[in-house]
């Protein structure tokens, strides 16, 4: 993988932006990859990949065939778009679109990180606050042992749960079950589904702007979505388009999209401006998703603060009760 959390998206945005601007400036493609190889030091796997890609291009390979050899770095979606750009002669434009796509994806990742950072920080402080009395009763060393011991245990538990989650997610049946459970969680389930819709619309808009035909656009766009249940339903659409049904009719049948999105597709098909409608309503969906993230951050922070207040209050009351019981001893 490129790196932890959203750094890979930021790095990809930088890579595609550099490629697009360099091609527009008229630099030779081999020189561009040499520049990228020199600019990127971490991770080492990415630097090695650019060295191999440059070597393949020097031997006469196409860019899309060269990057396809590194599936852990470049997805099939990216490879297909680069291939389309090379064949159509507008590679610089498609690379610029890809840069914009990953930049927006990176910003959404930051929203997710922000959602958990404040509650995690408050819980971290609480771990040290609730044991302050240990300093006066058992000494500073016992205080550090108690607080750091709890913290290490919590981090170990998080590590085990995370490893178990990704292990189970590697199997398709369990991935579907996990996605179903996510969708059942109040508020978070809706955000998770909206994010899949947003990524699908973004991908579809990007593919249309790149000049891809509808069936291939849908097939590639759905590969960017995290929700397996959403993917399984949308994957049926390309084959169903041959039956004579329109895209808007097939979307209604999936029962996945809000009514205004279905209406947008119908209007776009009627007016012949489907790409414009997709782009416009993907912006609306992005604003709605970002607003949901912001609201969830606020609610999570308030709930965490109340939980911590209850925990601290409980420990203070229990301390006074112990002192009171001690004074009553004969």
Tens of pLDDT, residues 229-271? 888 888 888 888 888 788 888 888 888 888 888 888 888 888 8
Find out whether 294 and 111 touch, Cβ atoms under 8 Å.
yes
Tell me if 188 sits within 8 A of 182, measured CB to CB. Answer: yes
In whole angstroms, give the CA distance from residue 306 to residue 309.
Answer: 5
Contact yes or no for 288/271 (Cβ under 8 A):
no
- Going by C-beta distance under 8 Å and a sequence separation of 6 or more, which residues neighbour residue 234? 200, 218, 222, 225, 254, 256
- Given a contact cutoff of 8 angstroms between Cβ atoms, the answer to whether 33 and 140 are in contact is no
Cα 214 versus chain centre, distance:
25
CB-based burial, 286-307: b 16+ in 10 Å, e otherwise: beebeebbeebbeebbeebeee
What is the residue-averaged pLDDT of the chain? 79
Is residue 210 a contact partner of residue 97, using CB atoms and an 8 Å limit? Answer: yes
- Reported as a pLDDT band with limits 50, 70 and 90, residue 327 is low
Q: Residues 184-209: pLDDT tens digits?
A: 777 778 888 888 888 888 888 877 77
257: three-class secondary structure by DSSP = coil
The topology (CATH level 3) of 7-102 is: Receptor-associated Protein (1.20.81)
**Residue 97 to residue 282: CA distance in whole angstroms:** 15
CB-based contacts of 134: which residues, under 8 Å, 6+ apart? 142, 143, 146
Classify residue 235 by its DSSP letter: T
Q: In this structure, are residues 92 and 20 in contact, taking their beta carbons and an 8 Å threshold?
A: yes
- What is the mean pLDDT of the segment spanning 63-88? 84
pLDDT beyond 70 at 215: yes
Round to whole Å and give the CA distance between 314 and 311: 5
Burial of 196 (0-12, 13-18, 19+ CB in 10 A): buried
* Residue 26: exposure state from Cβ atoms within 10 A (0-12, 13-18, ≥19): exposed
pTM strictly above 0.75: no
Q: Is the peptide bond before 43 cis (omega within 30 degrees of 0)?
A: yes
């Amino acid at each position: 993988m490129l790196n932890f959390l959203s750094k890979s998206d930021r790095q990809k945005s930088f890579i595609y932006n550099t490629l697009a601007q360099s091609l527009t400036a008229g630099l030779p493609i081999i020189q561009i990859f040499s520049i990228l190889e020199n600019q990127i030091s971490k991770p080492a796997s990415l630097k090695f990949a650019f060295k191999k890609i440059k070597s393949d291009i020097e031997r006469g390979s196409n860019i899309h065939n060269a990057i396809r050899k590194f599936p852990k770095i470049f997805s099939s979606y990216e490879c297909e778009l680069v291939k389309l750009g090379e064949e159509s002669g507008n590679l610089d434009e498609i690379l610029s679109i890809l840069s914009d796509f990953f930049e927006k994806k990176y910003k959404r990742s930051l929203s997710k990180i922000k959602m958990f950072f404040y509650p995690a920080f408050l819980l971290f402080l609480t771990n040290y606050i609730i044991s302050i009395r240990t300093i006066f009763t058992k000494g500073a060393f016992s205080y550090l042992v108690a607080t750091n011991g709890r913290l290490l245990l919590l981090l170990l538990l998080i590590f085990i749960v995370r490893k178990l989650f990704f292990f189970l997610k590697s199997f398709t049946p369990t991935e579907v079950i996990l996605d179903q459970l996510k969708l059942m969680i109040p508020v978070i389930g809706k955000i998770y589904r909206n994010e899949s819709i947003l990524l699908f619309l973004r991908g579809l808009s990007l593919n249309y702007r790149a000049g891809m035909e509808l069936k291939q656009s849908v097939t590639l766009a759905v590969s960017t979505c995290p929700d397996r249940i959403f993917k399984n339903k949308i994957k049926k659409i390309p084959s169903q388009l041959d039956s004579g049904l329109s895209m808007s009719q097939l979307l209604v049948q999936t029962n996945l999209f809000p009514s205004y999105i279905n209406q947008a597709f119908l209007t776009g098909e009627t007016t012949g401006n489907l790409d414009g409608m997709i782009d416009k309503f993907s912006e609306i969906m992005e604003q709605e998703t970002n607003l949901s993230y912001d609201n969830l951050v606020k609610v999570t922070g308030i709930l965490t603060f109340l939980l911590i207040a209850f925990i601290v209050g409980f420990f203070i009351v229990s301390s006074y009760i112990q002192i009171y019981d001690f004074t009553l001893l004969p």
